[in-house]
Amino acid sequence: MPIMKKIQSLGTLSKIAIGVVIGATLVGGVATAAGQFSGAVVNACVDNSTGALYANAGSSSTVCPAGRSAVTLGSGSGIKAIVPKIEPSVVTVNVTASDGTGDTGSGEIIKSDSTGSYIVTNNHVIDAFAQDSATYKLSVDLSDGRNITATIVGRDTAYDLAVLHVSTPNLPAIAIGDSSTLSIGDPVIAFGSPLGLDGTVTAGIISSLNRPVTTQSDTSNTQSYVDAIQTDAAINPGNSGGALTDSMGRLVGINCAIASLNGQSTSGSIGLGFAIPINEAMRTVNEIITSPTHTSTRPVLGVYFDTSYTGVGAKISQLVTGDPAALAGVPIGAVITNIAGTRIPDQETAIVKIRSYAPGASVSITVTLPTGGSKVYQLTLGSAPSNS
């Protein structure tokens, strides 16, 4: 397929090929887990207008306030109850060339009012259109079958995110969850249009959290960094940009990558899928929507890494004067081995971990000093335009 990503080595033990949902390669090690939704029953209420789900906590009653309908989650009928509420918020994203060829991805409506609606997807889904709008056109298919021309509000190549806008007003927006509350083993549901099959739903669990994934676009040669959610929910080419929700139907991730066995040029689901955590994504999305220039920012440590270093950790080869690492007194030649409690085996992991924070966040880094021994530095991350 023409829209591709390359994922770099993450320095782990076993080797697999990982690709974006529209195909790719990578080296990394992952662990998988299989599972289904538990038989536990949770009562909830669905807002009849927005489709948002609300827990009916501490009660076995299915009585809901006015304007909301009762559903039972976690039982065999749980997913069936959620899907009709979420599907109207999920769209198919089409990038179509003048000769009729092209690709499809997925997206979700995250905000809508009387003036129009905002949709989130992956940057790599719309990258060909962004590079050559004379050759390609951009549109979205709604769940009711309507095809609508879309425009790009803004995009962030570093986080593989893009915000689209359609003039259609008052569309149902998906409820936003909290990815910081996720745990390994939590049930999740993936929505999207794999291989152009719109309205596809799959389910699984969270297999791992904070999985470092780096990707590179074949279209524009830009690199993205994701502190990813790993899931065994089936994700396939075309799911890129689609919703990963929790068991209450709240958006917790943006599907962005899948894995294949080493050496395969095309990828299909083998139970190894990856998503951008929604807390990380929404910081960028909100900046793109609210910024006068429709741009976003990224956090800055202010170091360059030694790409020839083959030891454990990320070796600093250069400091940027006036940036956080230099101001904190971190020396050139120091090797970062830990960031905020996360072990850092290589420079890719260091970059992914730093990029998971917002500008202005306070972060501790542990380094092995050039003179021997280790030291912990506490510093405040700076800010820079994300696409620079």
Q: How far is the first Cα of the chain from the last one, in angstroms, to the nearest whole number? A: 28
- 294 counts as catalytic: no
**The pLDDT value given to residue 229:** 95
Same domain, 317 and 266: no
Q: For the chain, which ranges sit under pLDDT 50?
A: 1-41, 58-60, 75-76
Same domain, 212 and 231: yes
- 240 counts as catalytic: yes
Same domain, 274 and 199: yes
Same domain, 182 and 269: yes
Report the distance separating Cα 214 and Cα 27, nearest Å: 10
Residue 317, CA atoms < 13 Å, CB-side half-sphere: 7
112-115-121-124 Cα dihedral, nearest 10 degrees: -170
Give me the number of domains the chain comprises. 4
Report the distance separating Cα 174 and Cα 162, nearest Å: 17
- 160 counts as catalytic: yes
**The pLDDT value given to residue 50:** 59
pLDDT, tens digit (0-9, with 9 covering 90-100), for 119-152: 999 999 999 999 999 999 999 999 999 999 999 9
Task: Give, as one character, the DSSP assignment of residue 280.
Answer: H
| Single-letter amino acid code for the residue at 88 | P
Angle, CA 195 vertex, CA 192 and CA 201 arms, to 5°: 30
Place of tokens 């299989």: 34
Same domain, 183 and 235: yes
Does residue 61 form part of some domain?
A: yes
Same domain, 255 and 186: yes
Q: Which of 103, 156, 160, 346 is catalytic?
A: 160
Q: Which of 124, 143, 179, 356 is catalytic?
A: 124
User: Of the candidates 166, 197, 225, which is a domain's last residue?
Assistant: 166
Q: Which of 139, 240, 267, 269 is catalytic?
A: 240
Q: What is the CA radius of gyration of the chain?
A: 21
Residue 204 belongs to domain spanning: 5-31+177-280
- CATH number, domain of 149, equals 2.40.10.10
pTM for the predicted model, two decimal places:
0.79
Same domain, 254 and 329: no
CB proximity list for 254: less than 8 A, separation 6 or greater = 120, 121, 122, 161, 241, 242, 243, 244, 275, 276, 278, 281
